[in-house]
Chains A and B, each alone.
Chain A
Amino acid sequence: MSDSPASARPMVIADRVVKSFGSHTVLKDISLTVNRGEVVCVIGPSGSGKSTFLRCINHLEKLDGGRIIVDDELIGYRERGDKIYELKPKEAAEQRKDIGMVFQRFNLFPHLTVLENIIEAPTQVKRQSKDAATTRALELLARVGLAEKAKAYPASLSGGQQQRVAIARALAMDPKLMLFDEPTSALDPELVGEVLDVMKQLAKDGMTMIVVTHEMGFAREVADSLVFMDGGVVVESGDPREVLAHPQHDRTKAFLSKVL
């Protein structure tokens, strides 16, 4: 990270990624580059493979073809000569701890308090002391505006609050990349804003983010680049304002006419 040409090396390179479930090929040929500090929004109709692609980046799903490189490291595999070896679960976990993920359905641990949710991975995975992890967790909670909820259980929070805790939980691992899988799709409309505001702040602070979303306003305002996926391929990508205002492909036009 401290190398001088750091900003020149992309954070994420996806190269001709293919993923199938049985006979159904979800990702046909996805190539995408995300530079450090960049925010990329991925849009597209449901079933287009957006979430699957996101889950491939932290190896929750195994690739069937192509490769994904995060911070110069091949994800899920090791190359030796001309052979590719699958990583051991422990090595895959090692890669995941630097990639934060926020889910559509929050997936907070319901049997733990907000604070315990956030310090779980730092203490268990990174072996941080409980005091250090707690101090950091309270900082992060203040950052997402929930300092007074540290002792509450997730079930007593609103959806928007739960999602903000989930973001704080991911940030507690000091990730170099954040993946957001439709973070506002399960929220009541009036709670969407508070989560987007936290994400905007995160983008402003220079976090590299890949966001699968239906929030076109967020994409237009925050994203450095917008990717439209359909049928397992990237149909169109580029400057968000440009893509949203002047879509080139018919499929993009058809999709945007429905959602805008």
Chain B
Amino acid sequence: MSTSRSARHTVPGAADQPEPIKAIPLRHPIRNIVAIILILIVAAFIWDAATNRPTYDWPAVGKYLFDQRVSAAALVTIELTVLAMVGAIVLGTLIAVMRLSPNPVLKGVAWVYLWIFRGTPVYVQLVFWGLLATIYKTISVGVPFTEPWAVWTTQDAISVFWLAVVGLALNEAAYMAEIVRAGILSVDPGQTEASTALGMSWVQSMVRIILPQSMRVIIPPTGNEVISMLKTTSLVTAVPLSTDLYTRTRDISAETFNPIPLLIVASIWYLFFTSIMMTGQFFLERRFARGTRFVDVGPGTPAAETASVPTVSTATPAAHPNKGDGS
């Protein structure tokens, strides 16, 4: 087919290529002026913050940034985030699958869960979890209406830290459930059909075929949720847990009567963690983009396509020897 082009046009050979366009680029004066004004405003703000505003108290920021109490609190915040997210992803996936189940009871329970945990503020929920020991004084294991096998006081059984983890996880699970459900629904139904037709069980096709493909849709909003969770941990003071990053810096500033530098310290730590998470998300997204067009194309090239076709070729290369002379 490569000769068809030269047959249509009178171009004699490939050496004579069409001339590239040499146009004068369009100017954007307004764009440039706006940019300059913005740079000036930002520079003025930074200059002012660095020199004119003693209440920022930059020496104190430097002093407390790596204070041992602060870094220990930062670790607690990370622990809360990771544990709550893991719990939320597991529970959220379960609820998503329940909502997609044909069983009306499972569907209904999942819907009510979503309704309650998405419909009330996380702060209120955390206060409730803090009052768990007041509502349920003991936890007992056994068969109902018989002597329990074991009894604990709620206060001894669950620490404030774990109450905070549970509170955050149960709230987040409602949001994760919707994200996972959207991911599952985004996968072409033909995929379920193909795996079912191959004799795969529902669990096999879910785990091996559907969920890996839904990851492409699930990961970006989940990254958002992780970052959001990191910041939501600052509400655990409602439980009340006081060892997390925000509560700890606030407690320190209550002693020093100097809140602003400690707010900056907490913000720097939150930004640091968020930056790490964004990097992680980038690599995860790349991993689950396998098989999408233009990503990791195998060794076969389009040029090899025609060679691999087993059909009898009807091409007759000698049939048009005069085409080049058509002009």
Contacts and interface: CB of A to CB of B under 8 A. Distances in A.
B202 A89 contact: yes
A101 B195 CA distance: 10
B198 interface: yes
Contact of B309 (A93, A111, A152, A160): A160
Given A90-B201, A124-B208, A112 B291 contact: yes
Interface in A137-169: 144-146, 148-158, 160-161, 169
Contact of A145 (B198, B202, B308): B308
B300 A156 contact: yes
A125 interface: yes
A80 to B, nearest CB: 24
B49 to A, nearest CB: 49
A90 B204 CA distance: 11
Contact of A158 (B291, B296, B298, B305): B305
B198 A156 contact: no
A105 B193 CA distance: 11
B28 interface: no
B200 A113 contact: no
Interface in A6-25: none
Question: Chain B: interface residue count, which band?
Answer: 35 or more
B190 A173 contact: no
Nearest to B194: A107
A125 B200 contact: yes
A194 B197 CA distance: 24
A28 to B, nearest CB: 24
Interface residues of A, number: 49
Nearest to A94: B199
Contact of B209 (A90, A109, A194): A109
B188 interface: yes
Interface in B105-129: none
A160 B196 CA distance: 23
B298 A173 contact: no
A110 interface: yes
B265 to A, nearest CB: 43
Interface in B156-209: 188, 190-191, 193-202, 204, 208-209
A101 B197 contact: yes
A95 to B, nearest CB: 8
Contact of B292 (A97, A110, A125, A198): A110
A126 to B, nearest CB: 8
A146 B79 CA distance: 50
A93 B199 contact: yes
A198 B310 contact: yes
A140 B296 CA distance: 24
B240 interface: no
Contacts of B201: 89-90, 93
B36 interface: no
Contacts of B292: 110, 155
Contacts of A154: 291
B308 A125 contact: no
B309 A194 contact: yes
A109 B311 contact: no
A218 B156 CA distance: 76
A242 interface: no
Contacts of A87: none
A58 interface: yes
A126 B257 CA distance: 70
A161 B308 contact: yes
A78 to B, nearest CB: 18
A121 interface: yes
Contacts of B290: 111, 153
25 contacts: A60-B197, A89-B202, A93-B201, A94-B199, A96-B197, A96-B199, A105-B190, A107-B190, A107-B191, A109-B191, A109-B194, A109-B209, A110-B213, A111-B213, A111-B290, A120-B200, A148-B299, A152-B298, A153-B291, A153-B295, A156-B297, A156-B300, A161-B305, A173-B198, A173-B199
Given A121-B199, A148-B308, A194-B311, 11 more contacts: A60-B196, A96-B198, A98-B199, A120-B195, A145-B309, A152-B298, A152-B299, A153-B295, A157-B300, A169-B198, A173-B198
Return the 8 tightest CB-CB contacts between A and B, nearest first. Answer: A97-B199, A152-B298, A107-B194, A145-B310, A121-B198, A107-B190, A101-B197, A153-B291
